Amino acid sequence: MSAPTAEPAPGSEPLVTVEALARGFAGVPAVRRVSFTVGAGEIHALCGHNGAGKSTVVKMLSGQLAPDAGRILLDGKPVALRNRQAAQRLGVALVDQELSVVPALTVLENMQLGDIDAGFFKRRRAALRRCREVLDDMGLDRVRPDQPVAALSMGERQLVEIAKALSQRARVVILDEPTATLSEAESRRVFAAVRRVAARGCAVVFVSHRLSEVLELCDTVTVLRDGRDVATRPAAGLTVDGLIVTMLGEAPHRLEATRRPDPDLTHALRIGGLHVPGRLDGFTLTARAGRIYALAGQLGSGASDVLRALAGLHPQATGSVELRDRSVPFRDPVGAARAGIAFVSNDRKGEGLFLGKSVAGNLVATRLDRLGAGGLVGAGRERRTARSLAGLAGLPADRLADPVLALSGGNQQKVFVGRSLGRDDVHVLLLDEPTRGVDIGGRAAIHRLLRDAADAGLVVVFASTELEELLELGDVILTMRDGRVVSTYDGGANGAALMRDMTEGKDAA
């Protein structure tokens, strides 16, 4: 890390000033005269529901988008952040919510990738020493600089991503959903590192949908709603409930089931003794149609492995899986899909969406065989189907022609979920971290989609690390740790019990 810098004098010029920023897309305003300041040594949160404008503000601050109006000042001087390189030269570093580390490269090579100060012939010994210092500062003492990123867990990859940004001696660090894929312990490492960076005099802009961590970590919170800044307040005076009301303009409500679970067990998903070597041991569940089953566990608990095994992505899995009284060939993803199982990965960028394709193209991607004949897709049927799915997923019809990359994280997730809806050949919907990187408003919309899917007679099973989501959405909650079920809660669960099971574990009931 860079040498400590002097603390700013009280009343000095803010390090970052955002002044009446505005930006629109195709004539539709996304950000409307947003203003806030961030001082040296301050950790400043940006919060807001899906589509509130957070991502657009972050892209303008990091040089990815130019504002239509307003300006950005560093140390009181207006700056033109024309691209990421220009921002980096001025000391602005971004950790995006989508991972940019390259799995095929080593940790050291990823650290140097995109670093304008690295140089082609930079001395390897100095680079190794610098990399080792940064990794140790992030609590990654067991990760080697020469280790391929592909060998790291998803959480470790996220920490390397953050370490990469923090290693660039930035004066302004923007963290966009940095803990969305991290366990509690890994999040603590990130918090400690961010606090150390701020203590050195950096300005930190922190974007997260995990409101409790916002209030724990940040000094100040700016709330955006419908592209406008509606409040900027000290975090110490806020509560999670109050922050949610400010973000949404109203209090949220738990979604209750509108129909009883299907009593016909022939429609159930039956899982017996599911085993994945080194990951999952003896998972058993009978999941009824019309109910939502939540798998609660931190990274490495086995919750994600249950879903991936059922979707055919663990070919070494053993056990038995039956759906509608028929055996499911669960070691084969094509066989699992044909049996009626749809899977939504926790990595929509790497395993889900075609980012350069249109919203419409992504929505219909899994049903092209039904939209034409002889290898030709009927354009009219494709448009009608895409429009229908957009309605089911809560997506605006006027965005169907846009590339999915242009959507917010919440709307991208709606596309990912939406293409599994409205299909009579899908009986089970599996979702791994269904609202990862999605704010409170987007989360509510996605929860509505899942509740509607269950009410339509599907078996819905999701894995999550977030207590609020587990309690809000799960009809039945199974806690997991070290590859095994700890407890099963069919009603009556509370946050304290779930956290105890997920972090400490006990014998399965």
The secondary structure of residue 370, as a DSSP letter, is: G
What are the structural domain ranges in the chain?
A: 16-248, 265-352+410-503
In whole angstroms, give the CA distance from residue 159 to residue 143: 11
The pLDDT score that the predictor gives to residue 119 is 54
Distances (CA, A) of 332 to 313, 317, 419: 7, 10, 21
Instruction: Tokens for 208, please give them.
Output: 């997260």
d(CA 468, CA 466): 6
Q: What is the CATH number of domain 265-352+410-503?
A: 3.40.50.300
Q: What is the DSSP string of 158-197?
A: HHHHHHHHHTT--SEEEEESTTTT--HHHHHHHHHHHHHH
Q: With beta carbons less than 8 A apart as the criterion, state whether 54 and 207 touch.
A: yes
Amino acid at site 274: L
C-beta pairs of 218-221 under 8 Å, 24+ apart in sequence: 218/43, 218/44, 218/45, 219/42, 219/43, 219/44, 220/38, 220/42, 220/43, 220/44, 220/45, 221/44, 221/45, 221/47
Fold adopted by 16-248: Rossmann fold (3.40.50)
HEC states along 242-295? HHHHHHHCCCCCCCCCCCCCCCCHHHCEEEEEEEECCCEEEEEEEECCCCEEEE
Closest by CA to 172, choosing from 79, 74, 86, is 74
Please return the burial class of 4, using the count of CB atoms within 10 Å of its CB with bins 0-12, 13-18 and 19+.
exposed
The answer to whether the 16-248 and 265-352+410-503 domains have the same CATH topology is: yes
CA atoms of 66 and 116, how far apart (whole Å): 21
Report residues of the chain scoring pLDDT below 70. 1-12, 50, 116-122, 180-181, 183, 250-259, 372-376, 437, 439-441, 499, 503-504, 506-509
Q: Is 415 helix (H, G, I), strand (E, B) or coil?
A: helix
Matching residue, tokens 């920023």: 21
Query: What is residue 116's predicted lDDT score, i.e. its pLDDT?
Result: 62
Residue of 137, 91, 129 whose CA lies nearest to 108: 129
Q: Find the radius of gyration of the CA atoms of the chain.
A: 23
